[in-house]
């Protein structure tokens, strides 16, 4: 019988994060690309938030998307009370 390590049964803590998720489609600018005809690349995800009136924007990797989204939802739940 194998004993579980603490790290195997541990659920990672969700860090509350300010902001929201922004989805964008982008054009790369090459004339021979599919995006030159309107079929843009993406979606790309960004986290956006404000600090002292200044807007910040950070790219969110696909592997981190669920973690970031859960953090934003946790922050909103805290604010609701």
2 part of a folded domain: no
Whether 3 is covered by a domain: the verdict is no
Q: Is residue 40 part of a domain?
A: yes
Give domain status of residue 43, yes or no: yes
Return the higher-pLDDT residue of 4 and 20. 20
Q: What is the pLDDT of residue 40?
A: 94
Residue 5 maps to a domain: no
Q: How many domains does the chain have?
A: 1
pLDDT band at 76 (very low <50, low <70, confident <90, very high): very high
Is residue 10 one of the residues assigned to a domain?
no
47: containing domain: 17-80
Q: What's this model's pTM, rounded to 2 decimal places? A: 0.75
**Higher pLDDT, residue 79 or 10:** 79
Residue 31 lies in a domain: yes
Contacts of 74 (CB under 8 A, 6+ apart): 14, 15, 16, 17
pLDDT value for 55: 96
């Amino acid at each position: 019988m194998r004993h579980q390590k603490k790290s195997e049964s541990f659920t990672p803590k969700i860090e509350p994060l300010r902001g929201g998720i922004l989805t964008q489609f982008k054009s790369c600018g090459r004339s021979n690309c599919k995006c030159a005809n309107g079929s843009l690349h993406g979606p790309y995800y960004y986290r956006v938030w404000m600090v002292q009136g200044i807007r910040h924007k950070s790219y969110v990797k696909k592997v981190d998307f669920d973690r970031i989204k859960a953090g934003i939802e946790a922050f909103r739940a805290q604010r609701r009370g």
